[in-house]
Amino acid sequence: MTLQLADILAARRTIAGVAMRTPLVPSPHMSAVCGSEFLLKLETTQPIGAFKLRGALNAVSAVREGAPGVTCCSTGNHGRGIAYAARAKGLKAVICMSALVPQAKVDGIRALGAEVRIVGRSQDDAHAESVRLAQDEGLVEIPPFDDPLVIAGQGTIGLELLEDRPDLEAILVPLSGGGLAAGVALAAKAVKPSLRVIGISMDRGAAMFESVRADTPVEVTETASLADSLGGGIGLENQLTFSMCRALLDDYVLVSEDEIYDAMQTLYYEDRMVAEGASVVGIAAMKAGKLPMIGGPVATILTGRNVDMLTFTDIVAGRDVTLGDVELKGRSYAA
Ligand SMILES: *Cc1c(COP(=O)(O)O)cnc(C)c1O
């Protein structure tokens, strides 16, 4: 099975009007930092506060009438997208998540009327439960990234980016399971082959980076992170995103928890925006000087804003933050 630009164009028609065409805005501060134009794609403005609505809508729209419902595993935002899309279609939704998922994300999903199951301490545990629900109760399982309709939905972001700015030289994509990066890279490179797409992950448990380096999907240890939406493996039986990322991504960059902390402060103080840790890894990588190869207009995708507000306010106030075994020293923002 291979995905094509036509699949992404079809996804765009399917999700139009429910998923927003999001703004692409300049960041004057980050443009000064990197010496060329730096743009932010505001997926934070989607109705569920994250881009995952795109893939979720595209996949749920294909569920047959009369199905008993849908299920998925999620680090939070895919579940929220599925809950939103299922409610719009009058379908029951059961979202399986691990105990590592922040409470704010759990609450957001329940508020959309979906049933939430907290199982185990990893995405693998949550995945086992959604597989079981599909087998035992006939719910339709919608994977969070390794699914052609999900990848095509996320890829619609790539089309919008190049329509708004055909002169883009590079796109910095937050990378976890790779549904977003695979879709965006496929769309964007179909339109502009010279464009560079760089995947950015946190340095603890970067599953796609480790897998591409090993040349086969590998398991990683899942730990707490400010970029909680980037946690989890890519699946040892990965069908699509591993080979797509390997073929389409030009580079991989890893950022530390301290760099993510700093980037969340930077976005808040300089651009007055609220975003979750996973969203700001492109800013973190650029500020840390880890992208010397990039020149010309560059865009990063602010993938979501569903951050725990107590953690967020601690960060903007410069306080210490503890997440599981991660302890981050507070520091006031200085440009
Ligand atoms: C899911 C998610 C990502 C990563 O997407 P993948 O398709 O798993 O690589 C990045 N940021 C946020 C906010 C997410 O919810």
Most ligand 1 atoms within 8 A of CB, residue of 22, 52, 80 to mutate: 52
Q: Which atom of ligand 1 is nearest to the CA of 144?
A: 8
Question: Both 225 and 95 in a single domain?
Answer: no
The CATH number covering residue 262 comes to: 3.40.50.1100
| Percentage, residues of the chain above pLDDT 70 | 100
Question: Both 75 and 173 in a single domain?
Answer: no
Q: What is the DSSP letter of 139?
A: P
pLDDT (0 to 100) of residue 275: 98
Question: Both 42 and 175 in a single domain?
Answer: yes
pLDDT (0 to 100) of residue 223: 87
pLDDT (0 to 100) of residue 51: 98
Contact 115, 69 (CB under 8 A): no
Cα-based distances in Å from 195 to 4, 61, 97, 326? 17, 31, 35, 36
Question: Both 311 and 253 in a single domain?
Answer: yes
Please indicate, yes or no, if residue 174 is contained in any of the structural domains.
yes
Question: Both 207 and 113 in a single domain?
Answer: no
Q: Which atom of ligand 1 is nearest to the CA of 150?
A: 7
pLDDT in tens, 138-192: 999 999 999 999 999 999 999 999 999 999 999 999 999 999 999 999 999 999 9
Quote the CA–CA distance of 64 and 84 in Å, as a whole number: 17
Please indicate, yes or no, if residue 315 is contained in any of the structural domains.
yes
* Residue 277 near ligand 1, beta carbon < 6 Å: no
* Residue 181 near ligand 1, beta carbon < 6 Å: yes
Quote the CA–CA distance of 219 and 237 in Å, as a whole number: 11
Question: Both 13 and 134 in a single domain?
Answer: no
Quote the CA–CA distance of 335 and 323 in Å, as a whole number: 25
The position carrying tokens 């699946």 is 235
Please indicate, yes or no, if residue 238 is contained in any of the structural domains.
yes
Task: Assign 332 a pLDDT band (cuts: 50, 70, 90).
Answer: very high
pLDDT of residue 112 exceeding 70: yes
Question: Both 47 and 64 in a single domain?
Answer: no
pLDDT (0 to 100) of residue 294: 87
Please indicate, yes or no, if residue 197 is contained in any of the structural domains.
yes
Task: Assign 1 a pLDDT band (cuts: 50, 70, 90).
Answer: low
Question: Both 198 and 89 in a single domain?
Answer: no
Question: Both 153 and 136 in a single domain?
Answer: no
pLDDT (0 to 100) of residue 102: 87
| Encoded tokens for 6 | 């036509």
Question: Both 104 and 245 in a single domain?
Answer: no
Please indicate, yes or no, if residue 63 is contained in any of the structural domains.
yes
* Residue 143 near ligand 1, beta carbon < 6 Å: no
What mean pLDDT is reported for the chain?
96
pLDDT (0 to 100) of residue 324: 85
pLDDT in tens, 228-259: 999 989 999 999 999 999 999 999 999 999 99
pLDDT (0 to 100) of residue 26: 98
Task: Assign 113 a pLDDT band (cuts: 50, 70, 90).
Answer: very high
Question: Both 262 and 189 in a single domain?
Answer: yes
pLDDT in tens, 269-298: 999 999 999 999 999 999 999 998 888 899
Higher pLDDT, 267 or 324: 267
The total domain count for the chain is 2
Please indicate, yes or no, if residue 334 is contained in any of the structural domains.
no
Please indicate, yes or no, if residue 335 is contained in any of the structural domains.
no
Domain boundary among 83, 118, 141: 141
Quote the CA–CA distance of 97 and 44 in Å, as a whole number: 21
pLDDT of residue 122 exceeding 90: no
Most ligand 1 atoms within 8 A of CB, residue of 43, 142, 303 to mutate: 303
Beta-carbon count within 10 A of 333 CB = 15
pLDDT (0 to 100) of residue 325: 85
Question: Both 47 and 59 in a single domain?
Answer: no
Please indicate, yes or no, if residue 179 is contained in any of the structural domains.
yes
Range of the domain at 323: 5-51+147-328
Helix 5-15 vs helix 148-164: crossing angle, to nearest 10:
90
Quote the CA–CA distance of 241 and 156 in Å, as a whole number: 16
Domain boundary among 141, 156, 174: 141
Domain boundary among 120, 141, 162: 141
Give residue 50 CA to ligand 1 midpoint distance, Å.
Answer: 9
